[in-house]
Amino acid sequence: MTDDVISDTPREGPRDEQGADAREESLFEAPPMGEQERMVEAILFASTEAVSVKELEDRMPHGCDAAEALVHLRKRYEGRGVTVVKVGDAWAIRTAPDLGYLMQKETVEQRKLSRAAIETLAIIAYHQPVTRAEIEEIRGVSVSRGTIDQLIEMEWIRFGRRRMTPGRPVTFVVTPGFLDHFGLESARDLPGLKELRSAGLLESRPPPGAMPGPSSDEDDESPEGQSELFED
C-alpha cells in the first residue's frame, strides 16, 4: 500500500524548473538576424570611426551576434557603391575603392587681394558707374592697370557705359558674380558706412580732404547721397 502511494505521487519539481528556465530564456531572446543586420548597419553608418565587434554587441540587445550580422551585411553590400570593410580589429562602411575618384575635390587657390584692389573694388561698388579718373580722385593715388585687370579677371567688375564727357571715358561697375559672392541681391544691399564702421571694417577717420563735423554720421545715411551713388 505504501509503495502504491509513493509510485502514484507526481514528480512535478524538475519539469517546473525546466519550464521556468525556458521562460527566462525567452525573455532575453535575441532579435531576428535581419533586424540585427539593420542595427549593425545603422551603427556603422552613423559612426565616424571604425567600430569593433564588442562595441557593436555592447550597443545591441542582449543575445545578438554582431559577428554573424556583419557577415550578412558584407554580403549584402557586395558590388554596391559603399562596402563594409575591416579596419584593424574594427569595422566601418566606406566608399567602394573603384569609386574613390568621385570623392576627390578640386580646390581653387584663392589669391589674396591687395589693399589697392580692395579699395578699388569698394569704390566701384559704392560709386558705380565710376571712371578710372574718379577712382584715383577718391583714393588719392593712381590706379595701376594690373589692379583693374585682376578684378576684371576675377569677374567681379566689368566695363560699363562710356561717359558723355570729353574723351568719353569708360566706366566700371560690379558684376552679378560679385553680388552672388557676397550674397547681395543688388548693389543697393551693400552695407552703409555706419555699418562698416561698427563692424570694424572701416576707419572712423574722415577721408583725405574731408572736413569732419558732428553731422557726419547723419550725412552717411542721407537718402540723397545714397541715391546719388547708384545713378546711371
Please give the pLDDT value at position 36: 94
Residues 39 and 65: beta-carbon distance below 8 Å: no
Report, as an integer, the average pLDDT of 38-46: 95
Please give the pLDDT value at position 196: 60
Numbered ranges of CATH 1.10.10.10 in the chain: 28-97, 115-205+220-229
Q: How confident is the model at residue 108 (pLDDT cuts 50, 70, 90)?
A: low
Q: Does residue 206 have a cis bond before it (omega within 30 degrees)?
A: no
Three-state secondary-structure class, residue 92? strand
Share of the chain above pLDDT 70, in %: 68
61-79 pLDDT tens trace: 989 999 999 999 999 999 9
Confidence check: pLDDT of 225 > 70: no
Please give the pLDDT value at position 64: 94
Cα separations (Å) of 29 from 58, 154, 177, 184? 16, 66, 62, 61
Q: How confident is the model at residue 82 (pLDDT cuts 50, 70, 90)?
A: very high
pTM score, whole prediction: 0.42
Q: What is the third-level CATH fold of 115-205+220-229?
A: Arc Repressor Mutant, subunit A (1.10.10)
Confidence check: pLDDT of 209 > 60: no
1-25 pLDDT tens trace: 444 444 444 444 444 455 445 444 4
Chain centroid offset of residue 55 CA: 30
Domain 28-97: which CATH number of 1.20.1270.360, 3.40.50.300, 3.40.630.30, 1.10.10.10: 1.10.10.10
Confidence check: pLDDT of 85 > 80: yes
